[in-house]
Amino acid sequence: MTLTLLNNRYQVLRELGSGGFGKTFLAEDTQMPSAKRCVIKQLIPVVNNPQVYQLVQERFQQEAAILEELGDRNSQIPQLYAYFMEGGEFYLVQQYVEGKTLTEKLQQQGVLSEITVKEILINILQILEYVHSKGIVHRDIKPDNIILRFSDSKPVLIDFGAVKVTMNTEVSPSGNSHQSIVIGTPGFMPMEQSAGRPVFSSDLFSLGLTAIYLLTGKIPQDLPTEPNLGNILWRHFAPYLNVNFGDVLDKAIAYHPRDRYLNAREMLTALQTLSNPIAPTLPVPQSIPTILAAPVTAGYVQPQTVASLPTSQPHFQTQYPVTSNNGLGTWQQAVIIGGVIGSFLVGGFWVLGIVNKPQITTTNTTPSPVLSPVENTNITPSNTSISPISQPTTSPPEPIQPQTTSSISREAAIQGLETWLAAKRQIFSPPYNKELGSKLLTGPVYTKFISKTDNPDACLARGNNEDDCLSSVDWLIRNRAYWVYGVQKIQAVRNFVSSGNNATIIVVVTEQRTLYNKNGNVDKSQSGLFTSTTSYDLQYENGEIKIYNYK
């Protein structure tokens, strides 16, 4: 059936999606002066007989009234504009939310920061507290059903499952109504919902898995489970996560409802009592800021460019053999550099020049394998998941206290590298935080990655080459490119030497990174999971440990 004008009022513009219960359309209201856009959901009963149709019609009216109340009283639930029946099918007319779904945000930006995920959770839990107070279980919370609204960046909860339940009504020979199909999304719904008996904590389970997806990029089906208790094992995919925040999520996704939070308010309180998470920190006076992504489109909206998580993969050619003699352009050089920096910050505080020249071994493989520290220098990631039992979860290291002795400790050096790894997400993608880079880098590395000149455009206008004018960050900004990071882990420390205010450390680092160009396309040749061995030089400067050079 070709849809053009519905209810003699709504002009269909295009189909937005379809599923087992019907279709969704973007439409214009021809009876409004502004031709206001709206979303129309066409719902089709699973059984076609007069007895069931009458029952579905009554329940549809009841559910429409509930949706109207929910949308009118909560600004983060779409408003219901109208409902009607036409041609034996049922229609809901709802507010059109311009934004991007959480799925789209992750696909465009990469895994989200802990602070961002926590803010999303707090917002959704406040919505659920209101929804549950009405005796309603959403039944289908997942990344696709949460839209980040462009106008204010707030999450909006869409696609309530109650109407789908109504469409799924059947009548037994004895005259009793029942549901033949489970409402929900496999993987995101808990066992009691799969059995057709959802409770309020079922929504919390789905929300917890949504948060884990945003933190790790892993859908539930890709996460292993504990053989005996059935609990989901995921923390080894987010090694830098605050342990207390991880505990909150673990409780939300517990296998049995009795082990979860009783309601949204209880989980909300647990989250709000947590301190703001920070990645492992160096002796930096301020906590690392959160990355804010620019808007990208949702299922119904025009996409825009968004920020991603960066690695130290910026543009440069001196410290690493990436020169015009190799036939590499600026873009390729920037890519390779990014890879180097990933290693750079984990391996080389090479101030003393005492360590033998390290080998750099890079392996590109399937994303997100979990690796345990190994003794040999060349690490080859495998596609086999490693049990989280061998990956103990610990809270982020405490900020390094100012040095009271004349030498840099091994622990402080390692912590400095961990801080750098976390900071790359904010330095090499929007907001391209140069100030943070100045707190972590010094000397030639600072010049190479953060700032070669105060005015790169003027430098280029004088006829200089990009390599002479643009630091890695400046090149990324100028070309609207950015790095996105997944797993970042120091696997092993090969050597450490410290003398006075200088130290050198050689480390093996595994890092998952993706390079995006200005069109949002991935450079596959430079993206993947890499393991490298690198030597880093550290320098104690103005009360802080900074990276001076790498090899």
- Catalogue the active-site residues: 140
Q: Is 42 strand, coil or helix?
A: strand
Return d(Cα 161, Cα 159) in angstroms, integer.
6
Phi and psi of 399, rounded to 5°? -55, 140
Return d(Cα 257, Cα 201) in angstroms, integer.
6
Strand order across the beta sheet in which 146-149 lies: 99-101, 146-149, 155-157
Return d(Cα 173, Cα 156) in angstroms, integer.
41
How many degrees, rounded to 5, is the angle at CA 520 between CA 509 and CA 435?
55
DSSP 196: T
Q: Decide if 527 contacts 342 (C-beta within 8 A).
A: no
Return d(Cα 486, Cα 343) in angstroms, integer.
14
Number of CB atoms found within 10 A of residue 512's CB: 26
Return d(Cα 417, Cα 415) in angstroms, integer.
5
Q: Decide if 428 contacts 483 (C-beta within 8 A).
A: yes
Please report the DSSP string for 269-293 in residue order.
HHHHTSPPP-----S-SSPPPPP-P
Q: Decide if 313 contacts 532 (C-beta within 8 A).
A: no
Q: What is the largest CA-CA distance in the chain?
A: 88
Please report the DSSP string for 97-164 in residue order.
--EEEHHHHHHHH-SPPHHHHHHHHHHHHHHHHHHHHTT------SGGGEEEETTT--EEE---SHHH
Cα within 13 Å of Cα(495), Cβ side = 20
Return d(Cα 158, Cα 148) in angstroms, integer.
11
Both tokens assigned to 395: 């809270």
